[in-house]
Amino acid sequence: MSEVIVITSGKGGVGKTTTTANIGTGLALMGKKVVLVDTDIGLRNLDVVLGLENRIVYDLVDVVEGFCRVKQALIKDKRYDGLFLLPAAQTREKTAVNPKQMIRLCNELREEFDYIIIDCPAGIEQGFKNAIAGADKAIVITTPEVSAVRDADRIIGLLESSELRNPKLVINRVRMDMVKRGDMMSIDDIIDILAIDLIGVVPDDEKIIVSTNRGEPAVTDNKSLAGQAYRNITRRVLGEQVPIMDLQSEEGFVFKLKKLFGIKSS
């Protein structure tokens, strides 16, 4: 039974694409057959984050316009066998695709893959409507900023009115030291406002920037704290019960020492 999951946030720059790449790669690492669909037509990024930009010949728009078959447009990941990418078109606009076409595409992909992860563009216009059209489940990304939480709230409302109930929440770029000082919203504050199930908390990690630039998702990096967080999210997507990482206790000297020697934090 395959699942179509849309990763969305409303606000831009909170980590939709990074999360898509990491959850997708994580699922592939667990032996699942996964396709990542980039619906951000005109501002595609997922191919760059995965390091697959130079392999693109056909894209999403070519597929829905019947210019090529789905299989021709799918790009196999260079590292993981079960991971595929359906890239967005760069020289077109969001209006090149409509929700009906997306539903048809998702249903076609269901036959081949266990998980179809859709990377949603920022905003609530046509691109968003396309992205959520064929989805069964939604994961909403936010950061501990008032503006991001406000947009996430709006998105949750829109998802619910589109029959996508019970979206899951990922809180990205949390800095525990700032939360402690009271300079950043805490996880509880955010859940209080959004009132949906938390599926993961990802700490702010310099390694994310490095891995994004290299085209290698952080989830594959055992030393990265963010990578560990994404591995946990992946397991929760698969239905396992994994406790939320306690970021608080990991601060301090022992943690820094562990990190220095690259010991995996559980």
Partner 1 sequence: MEESSITFKATANGLILIMKEEEDFETVFEQISKKLSAAGKFFKGASLDVKYRGKVLSEEEERLILELMEKKTGAKVKSLQLDTTEPEQVETEHTNSMSSTYKVKNFFFKGINEGITKFYRGTVRSGQLISFDGNVVIIGDVNPGGEIEATGNVIVMGSLRGIVHAGADGNKEAIVAALNLQPTQLRIADIITRSPDEEETRSELIPELAYVKDDIVYIERFLPQYK
Nearest distance from residue 91's CB to partner 1, in Å? Answer: 4
Q: Which is nearer to partner 1, 30 or 48 (CB)?
A: 48
What b/e sequence results for 123-144 when a residue is b if at least 16 CB atoms lie within 10 Å of its CB, and e otherwise?
Answer: bbebbbbbbbbbbeebbbbbbb
- Binding residue (CB under 8 A) for partner 1 from 3, 33, 53, 103: 53
Q: Which is nearer to partner 1, 42 or 99 (CB)?
A: 42
66 in contact with partner 1 (CB under 8 A): no
- Binding residue (CB under 8 A) for partner 1 from 54, 161, 241, 266: 54
Cβ partners under 8 Å of residue 162, min gap 6: 132
Q: Which is nearer to partner 1, 136 or 215 (CB)?
A: 215
| Number of CB atoms found within 10 A of residue 194's CB | 19
Nearest distance from residue 264's CB to partner 1, in Å? Answer: 28
HEC-encoded secondary structure of 249-261: CCCCHHHHHHHHH
3-state secondary structure of 231: helix
* HSE-up of residue 176 (Cα within 13 Å, Cβ side): 14
57 in contact with partner 1 (CB under 8 A): yes
- Binding residue (CB under 8 A) for partner 1 from 10, 24, 51, 121: 51
Nearest distance from residue 59's CB to partner 1, in Å? Answer: 11
Distance CA 84, CA 249 (A): 37
Binding-site ranges for partner 1 (CB under 8 A): 42-44, 48, 51, 53-57, 78, 90-91
